[in-house]
Structure 1
Amino acid sequence: MTHGRLNQALLFALVGFALISFSAPVLAQEETSSKEQENKEEKKEEENTLYEALVVTGSRAKPRSATESMVPIDVLQVGDIANSGETDITNQLRNLVPSFNVNAQPISDAATVVRPANLRGLAPDHTLVLVNGKRRHRAAVIYWLGNGVADGAQGPDISAIPSIALRQVEVLRDGASAQYGSDAIAGVMNFMLKEDREGATLEVRNGSYQEGDGDTITFSGNVGLPWGELGFLNLSFEYGQTDPTNRSVQRDDAAGLIAAGNTAVANPAQIWGSPEIEDDLKLWANWGYTFDNGSKFYGHANYVSKTVTGGFYFRNPNTRSAVYSADGGQTLLVGDLIDARDGVLDGSADCPTVPIVNGVPDPTALAEVFANPDCWTFQELFPGGFTPSFGGDVVDNAINTGIRGTTEDGLYWDASVSYGANEVDFFIFNTVNASLGPDSPTSFDPGLYKQEEISFNFDTSYALSERANIAAGAEYREETFEIGLGQAESYAIGGLANQGFSAASNGFPGFSPLAAGSWDRGNFAFYADLELTGEKWTAGVATRFEDFDDFGTTMNSKFAFNYRFNEAFATRGSVSSGFRAPTPGQSNAFNVSTEFDIAAGELVNNGTIPSSSAVARLRGGEPLVAEKSINYTVGTIFKLGEINVTLDYFNIELKDRLAVTQLFALTPQEVEDLLAEGVTSAANLQNFRFFTNDFETKTEGFDLVATYRPEALGGDTDFSLVFNQTETSVEEFNPDTLDATRIRELQEGLPEIRWNLAANHRMGNFRVLGRLSYFDDWFDSEDVQVYGGEYLVDAELAYTWDERLGITIGGQNIFDTFPEENPGARSGVGNLYSQFTPFGFNGGFYYVRLRYDF
């Protein structure tokens, strides 16, 4: 069925359901001051299994249990999330939701600062993130390097949410664009904040890897305060530090330099490991105040900041192109400073040629260069080469507030406004702008990325009868992407540029006045949905219309159902259309990344340019349009004695998929054209790529979730099994823009199979947790290697005194399992393990957690 025909069919179904429902008797809706009662009920459910918890995601009718929902929803209680040595919520979710993937990204430009996370095998920005049911703004970072699947995506920063602030996380594994709008192709993640109006918790976590590095310490707290007779103010904080790790081996070229007598080369010359995270501060507030007429003033806000520092590739002091050599290491690149000043290339300084023999520059010629103040080589500044350090200062702040209530006639209404901003101010040090010669700084401020979003929402819901609920609403949202100007030296083209020295800060060029700027986009949306409930069934239909400033309109619809044959068996399913709008950042941002070309055996500068660029248009670049999807799910829910099981099949057909193209080699004329467009680092670019919409993919798979609480063990032991199998295939593509490597990244970059089996046992004041996880193999496009899957074991033991003070001792990957080693590590860039491993490359992590409840 085509996209348009599906929308029409579902729209007719919506009208038909509405006519049937209006003929039913209308009963008065209960007053929505019952929200407080809902909270009490949810607290009672906190110790229950996944299937007994109430959920609100995916429906605008009254909450229902996960098994009554028409689409698959994982419900994670705060206890499930806390039972982990991790403090980053993205890693915590990876342990609990097999269709959710995230990895370390050690040398991945801005992706090291804000890590990409994938749900159901799709890109990070194919998942919509909500907080308390309200859209969360996206991060400023565009993932230029993300092992293919995440390349070019711009999603929210989930790590900004501290787990201590949460009471529940709901993961909807189904397309939901017809309900929530753009981005909800892979699914929806709804982070529900605590609403306690009393009590407090303090927690300290400390841990380290078995290798003796990566020390992590985190202090966190939560307090609930009463506000009026029924209201609350809930406050949370988290502050932490994480030391870097190192899982490198010395590169052959660096070892050869040391063997040849270059004592300035570090060992290892290049570090592969998790980045350092400093001053990781998270402040969150959630509030609600109930007026005498039953309406409620509510909201939440956050301020988050951190500094993330990672590494880049080693610059060989003999061979690094455009810094140390112009002929692959046959001779040193020596600059004539007189020619640099007067602009006339006549060899005024009479600088000698410095040949490199057996890895050593000729000492006599090199001494002549050092003695001549008008000659320059970067051997004078960094004789052992250099490895840039790159990172960013991240600031994230947001506020969402509104008023909701119910009229005397039973019409529920909700009016809200939200603002969110994420800014990453980049820095890079231990590097140079080679074209500036001896005047080059060694640290730079390349500029910043900033994302701002503001939205206004008005939602209504009305119970037409006990068996029918209709909802409708409108939204206006505006988002702005800004590239902030870098310091002049970070993008300057210095006097040595015409002698073969690279311009701009080496590794991450700064943003020039022509590259810097601000781009915005607004959109209006209107939606309506209807849910009907029978004695054994529930059905829902939804439709949403959106109009965007930049690419026009889209209309999406959804139909879903749940039919319960008896208490032990039910089936559910859905069909929907979806979309994702390209962001202003994806349409306008420039980026230059230094990457290792394994075939050439050297570092190359690769750029990503807007698809509207004159250079991109020569390779088929066009204005970006929205991605379009058709989602199908069908599943069963059944109970076998004390075992609850859900099994769901999903199929996501994605047309006009947005991603970056393959790399194209630049011609000299194209370099000049890019320089004219403001890409000042284009003088040193070898290749470029751009965003495109010209391919289609199909992602399909199964999710299995099973829980077991045997009465024979007193109901004190929970067993759970969660299994995911996801496979993506590129169905149609343009061979002029998508090559075999890009296709393989999209199809094999993430594990096809993920599962974990866990047991959690309570015995008096003790609690014991064990978890076995499996991660299937994956393809690393930088190592050009398929790495095999692995099994990991986690365990923890907890003890509580007087129901207040608790201590937890545990370990993740307790048997210190590492990924398969990279066979080309020493001859390549020193990464002993794949940087894209889905479960980490640091080995066993052991931790202790102290918690006190007031």
Structure 2
Amino acid sequence: MTKPVIEKVVPSVHGIRPTLVACAILASLSTTSFAQEAGADSVEPDTQADERIAVVGTRSAPRSVGDSAVPLDIVGADELRDQGSTDMMNMVSTVVPSFNVNDQPINDASTLVRPANLRGLASDHTLVLVNGKRRHRSAVITFLGGGLSDGAQGPDISNIPASALRQIEVLRDGAAAQYGSDAIAGVINFVLNDASEGGTLEARYGTTAEGDGDTIQISGNIGLPLSERGFANLSVEYREADATSRSVQRDDAAALIEAGNTFVADPAQIWGTPEIKYDFKALGNFGLDLGGNKEAYLFANYAEREIEGGFYYRHPHDRDGVFFGGFNDQDEQLLLVADLDGVGQGLSCPEVPVGDNVLDSPEYQLIADNSTPLGANCFAFNELFPGGFTPRFGGIVTDASFVAGTNGYLASDWAYDVSVGVGYSRVEYLLFNTVNPSLGPDTPFDFSPGAASQLEKNFNLDFSKGFQFDSFYDLVNFATGIEYRRETFKQETGDPASFAVGPLTEQGFGIGSNGFPGIKPEAAGEWSRGNWAWYADVETYLTEDFMVGAAIRLEDFSDFGSTSNGKLSARWQLTADWALRGAVSTGFKAPTVGQSNVINVTTAFVGDALQDQALLPPTNPIAALKGGRPLEPEESVAYSLGLVGEFENGLYLTVDYFNIEVTDRLSRTSAIPLTQEDRDALIEQGVRDAASYSSVVYFTNDFDTTTQGIDVVANYGHDLWEGDMKYTLAYNWTDTTVDSFNPDNINLAKVQMLEDNLPAHRATFTANYRFDAMRTLARVNYYGKYYEDHVDAGGGLDIFPGAETTVDVEFSYDFSESFTAAIGGKNVFDNRPDENPFASAVVGSLYPPTSPMGVNGGYYYLRAQYKF
């Protein structure tokens, strides 16, 4: 192989603008769609919180928030709209304090699908429903999830357009006995808009206080009649967002510049929210009255987005497998130099001492002169990247689902609901501005290192009926049903260059696209499992003031066997104003087929250096040697006890205590060092790039936790200055204790991340005032102190940021019945987290990346809406 004269060009990637037709997409809420349309249960902007009607958490008749036996939040469409957030996860986090999500500046696949946490548990401990039907998982497994969600594979709710929603129901209680796997922390049900007329068009523009992160969003919703007896409600949304940077120059990069290397970027590494090149969502909801107390429903969605974010900086002296050539006998650090005609063949390449700036080395100048025979034969990647390089990581996330069914009543007065659903998620990984070192000067700079997909198929058959018994005060509502679910996880091969074993492999150059080596054919595959479930649910009033409920669920999985779970709940109306409620339940979360089988190589910061970590299935021989074993379900026992106050003056107050014990919790291990013997064993298995692996990680059931907390929710409204004022207070205290763990697999930093990475205290107070055509909203957000193991290093980079308060404000004016304009800001005073004490010394992040308030500071926006 001869070395051509190379001029390195940094690639430019342009977002694909898909031309997509939002047609025949999606449908209505199963057993209640037409009942809600005909009745008085729709959520109007002035409806009191305790009067809103929910279907989640009960299989009896829909009930108000105040009548529920377990904590329940209902977020109306207006509450989602009246804020600056454009991403569904941020919207929910703003109005539900026990729901947490943070930015993911550099966190592997978590940058593409951010993990969210309800009640301090992992992102896949919350079950997500749409119109009461299970939502499929994302294909993204959070290989790096900031400790709490490491290894989680949960649904991606950001694919649901806000314009398609009528309300969101958040059940903050264990509900696995009612709904199945994942409902350990609770359930979120997205209720779709079922209007058959009218619609909205909305446009938003926003930017940060620093003038970056510009965001444009356009959305629309329209309701149409579907014959004279049905509806078709369609929604679309399109968004773009520029990247932000909250970075400082790294000390190692600054030292290079000081030594005379003028090719180093400033900053060398970007920390901030990633660029959203495009984000398209379409969703439709359809319902049709079939007559005779029967109806048909259908809902579906399609979404696609492309995201590009940052990766870690590759120092032009130190990066293993690219620049670092070891040490000579004088203990001088050397540059990694390729002998293109082969070691011991033809011209030999000189040793190149690195010094303070290798570009000044006479030996380097010899090999960099391509006009000489020596220069043409000897190659170093500094010729392409004299200042080092920083890969750019991104991906295209595609999501689609389809649910159809029918419900009604049989002649025997049994209500039935039968449905089928298909959900699909795919992520295609993209990598730019990097190399496959083993290919030397012939390397491409852009790679498609592979893809992963998740396919789920569901079948549900549900029955319910109310029975009258003389010994009971009210009907005994009984529900039962069966569910079959089949899920398939697929890992697809990357492009050949992303995993190619090039001719320079034997000279110490790394294999595969640096930063995210491509998925090799032997690592690709498709894995499936099925499970059957049967449940029974009973609920009744023993007296006028005392309601009780019980549920049991049996599930059988094809890969690990059976599990059974139960739940008891009760509500006692103590006085006209006060009620006591509580529940006890067992739950489980089944390991996904992806977690059991995925293979991946991740570049992570460990201690004080970058490492290539091999994520292997827990049953892989090397993982098994390091303690891996087949995954088992996580199991939980949850208790809740609360007070509900509903007063004649309009005050509504709930205070709920919860305690959730989870055993055999599943997570990614901390990095387990590999010996040379381990690497040799992997190479013998055909994993040739194992020579560059520093450590191995795998998913394991290796620790137990107890999470407890208190939720407080209060609402109050009154007349003020001839207008209408409403107040909302929501407070959450959550405390997690790791009861036991395996210190061989999980280090103390990860334990502390599990316990303290989320703030123990979080609260929001909102005042919403409307006078005639004018509306003013002010919201105060409080985030308690927390802990961060900086960049998951496990190397003593401990950060303890203090508590923070931010203020959101929005002013809107109705220029007519159809047109409304608003101006507002999130974090209007541009408050920032405490600065990172390791900012320049390590990787250049100005603020702690896991900050619950985000890292961008103030965000200001304009919004205009047209109703028709």
TM-score (norm 1): 0.94
User: 2:431 pairs with 428, 431, 435, which one?
Assistant: 428
**1:197-276 paired onto structure 2 within 5 Å:** 197-276=196-275
User: 1:485 pairs with 484, 487, 493, which one?
Assistant: 493
Contact 1:227 1:289 in 2 (8 A): yes
The whole-number CA distance in structure 2 between the counterparts of 1:81 and 1:447 is: 35
Paired residue for 2:859?
A: 845
User: 2:462 pairs with 452, 459, 466, which one?
Assistant: 459
Contact 1:773 1:792 in 2 (8 A): yes
The whole-number CA distance in structure 2 between the counterparts of 1:32 and 1:195 is: 13
Contact 2:151 2:667 in 1 (8 A): yes
Paired residue for 1:353?
A: 351
Paired residue for 2:334?
A: 331
SS state at 2:105 partner: coil
Structure 2 counterpart of 1:778, one-letter code: Y
User: 1:398 pairs with 392, 396, 401, which one?
Assistant: 401
Deviations 1:253-293 (A, max 9, x none): 11221222222111111111100112210000001001122
Structure 2 counterpart of 1:306, one-letter code: R
Contact 1:592 1:681 in 2 (8 A): no
Contact 1:148 1:745 in 2 (8 A): yes
Query: Could you say if the C-alpha distance between residues 146 and 39 of structure 1 is closer, same or farther in structure 2, counting changes exceeding 3 Å?
Result: farther
How far apart are 1:133 and its partner, in Å? 0.3
Paired residue for 2:626?
A: 619
Query: Could you say if the C-alpha distance between residues 44 and 486 of structure 1 is closer, same or farther in structure 2, counting changes exceeding 3 Å?
Result: closer
How far apart are 1:58 and its partner, in Å? 0.6
Paired residue for 2:713?
A: 705
How far apart are 1:562 and its partner, in Å? 0.8
SS state at 1:261 partner: coil
Paired residue for 1:770?
A: 778
How far apart are 1:42 and its partner, in Å? 2.4
> Which stretch shows the higher mean deviation, 348-357 or 290-299?
348-357
Are residue 730 (structure 1) and residue 730 (structure 2) matched? no
Are residue 757 (structure 1) and residue 756 (structure 2) matched? no
Are residue 586 (structure 1) and residue 595 (structure 2) matched? yes
Deviations 1:676-702 (A, max 9, x none): 445454221111111111321100000
Structure 2 counterpart of 1:850, one-letter code: A
SS state at 1:101 partner: strand
> Which stretch shows the higher mean deviation, 613-622 or 414-423?
613-622
Paired residue for 2:567?
A: 558
Query: Could you say if the C-alpha distance between residues 37 and 497 of structure 1 is closer, same or farther in structure 2, counting changes exceeding 3 Å?
Result: closer
Are residue 520 (structure 1) and residue 528 (structure 2) matched? yes
Deviations 1:203-230 (A, max 9, x none): 0011000100000000100000011223
The whole-number CA distance in structure 2 between the counterparts of 1:158 and 1:257 is: 43
SS state at 2:335 partner: coil
Contact 2:204 2:863 in 1 (8 A): yes
Are residue 808 (structure 1) and residue 822 (structure 2) matched? yes
Contact 2:730 2:764 in 1 (8 A): yes
Paired residue for 1:634?
A: 641
> Which stretch shows the higher mean deviation, 404-413 or 101-110?
404-413
The whole-number CA distance in structure 1 between the counterparts of 2:401 and 2:45 is: 28
Contact 1:570 1:636 in 2 (8 A): yes
The whole-number CA distance in structure 1 between the counterparts of 2:40 and 2:784 is: 39
Structure 1 counterpart of 2:725, one-letter code: T
User: 1:446 pairs with 449, 454, 475, which one?
Assistant: 449
Structure 2 counterpart of 1:115, one-letter code: R
SS state at 2:280 partner: strand
How far apart are 1:41 and its partner, in Å? 1.3
Paired residue for 2:99?
A: 100
Paired residue for 1:418?
A: 421
The whole-number CA distance in structure 2 between the counterparts of 1:405 and 1:543 is: 24
Are residue 380 (structure 1) and residue 383 (structure 2) matched? yes
SS state at 1:326 partner: strand
Number of residue pairs matched? 817
The whole-number CA distance in structure 2 between the counterparts of 1:248 and 1:39 is: 54
The whole-number CA distance in structure 2 between the counterparts of 1:732 and 1:567 is: 45
Are residue 745 (structure 1) and residue 721 (structure 2) matched? no
Contact 1:128 1:187 in 2 (8 A): yes
Contact 2:230 2:286 in 1 (8 A): yes
Structure 2 counterpart of 1:373, one-letter code: A
Contact 2:141 2:595 in 1 (8 A): yes
Paired residue for 1:509?
A: 517
Paired residue for 1:19?
A: none
Contact 1:558 1:574 in 2 (8 A): yes
Contact 1:797 1:809 in 2 (8 A): yes
Paired residue for 2:55?
A: 56
Structure 1 counterpart of 2:851, one-letter code: T
Q: Percent identity?
A: 48
Query: Could you say if the C-alpha distance between residues 486 and 34 of structure 1 is closer, same or farther in structure 2, counting changes exceeding 3 Å?
Result: closer
SS state at 2:665 partner: coil
User: 2:612 pairs with 605, 608, 611, which one?
Assistant: 605
> Which stretch shows the higher mean deviation, 547-556 or 529-538?
529-538
The whole-number CA distance in structure 1 between the counterparts of 2:557 and 2:752 is: 33
The whole-number CA distance in structure 2 between the counterparts of 1:293 and 1:553 is: 39
Paired residue for 2:680?
A: 672
How far apart are 1:566 and its partner, in Å? 2.1
Unaligned stretches of 5+ residues in structure 1:
1-30, 340-344
Deviations 1:733-760 (A, max 9, x none): 2222222122111111211111011100
Deviations 1:480-530 (A, max 9, x none): 000000111111222212221111100001000111101001000000100
Contact 1:355 1:361 in 2 (8 A): no
The whole-number CA distance in structure 2 between the counterparts of 1:161 and 1:246 is: 27
Contact 2:66 2:646 in 1 (8 A): no
Query: Could you say if the C-alpha distance between residues 32 and 320 of structure 1 is closer, same or farther in structure 2, counting changes exceeding 3 Å?
Result: closer
Query: Could you say if the C-alpha distance between residues 518 and 763 of structure 1 is closer, same or farther in structure 2, counting changes exceeding 3 Å?
Result: same
> Which stretch shows the higher mean deviation, 227-236 or 550-559?
227-236
SS state at 2:835 partner: coil
User: 1:660 pairs with 657, 663, 668, which one?
Assistant: 668
Paired residue for 2:145?
A: 146
> Which stretch shows the higher mean deviation, 655-664 or 452-461?
655-664
How far apart are 1:362 and its partner, in Å? 4.2
Paired residue for 1:567?
A: 576
How far apart are 1:37 and its partner, in Å? 4.9
The whole-number CA distance in structure 1 between the counterparts of 2:645 and 2:36 is: 29
Structure 1 counterpart of 2:271, one-letter code: W
> Which stretch shows the higher mean deviation, 614-623 or 762-771?
614-623
Query: Could you say if the C-alpha distance between residues 44 and 498 of structure 1 is closer, same or farther in structure 2, counting changes exceeding 3 Å?
Result: closer
Query: Could you say if the C-alpha distance between residues 39 and 241 of structure 1 is closer, same or farther in structure 2, counting changes exceeding 3 Å?
Result: farther
Contact 2:109 2:142 in 1 (8 A): yes
The whole-number CA distance in structure 2 between the counterparts of 1:196 and 1:678 is: 58
**1:532-543 paired onto structure 2 within 5 Å:** 532-533=540-541, 534-543=543-552
Deviations 1:792-832 (A, max 9, x none): 00000010122210001000000001110011111111100
**1:293-304 paired onto structure 2 within 5 Å:** 293-304=292-303
The whole-number CA distance in structure 1 between the counterparts of 2:830 and 2:150 is: 30
The whole-number CA distance in structure 2 between the counterparts of 1:713 and 1:552 is: 64
Contact 2:529 2:557 in 1 (8 A): yes
TM-score (norm 2): 0.92
How far apart are 1:366 and its partner, in Å? 1.2
Query: Could you say if the C-alpha distance between residues 77 and 679 of structure 1 is closer, same or farther in structure 2, counting changes exceeding 3 Å?
Result: farther
Query: Could you say if the C-alpha distance between residues 575 and 679 of structure 1 is closer, same or farther in structure 2, counting changes exceeding 3 Å?
Result: farther
Structure 2 counterpart of 1:620, one-letter code: G
Paired residue for 1:27?
A: none
SS state at 1:178 partner: helix
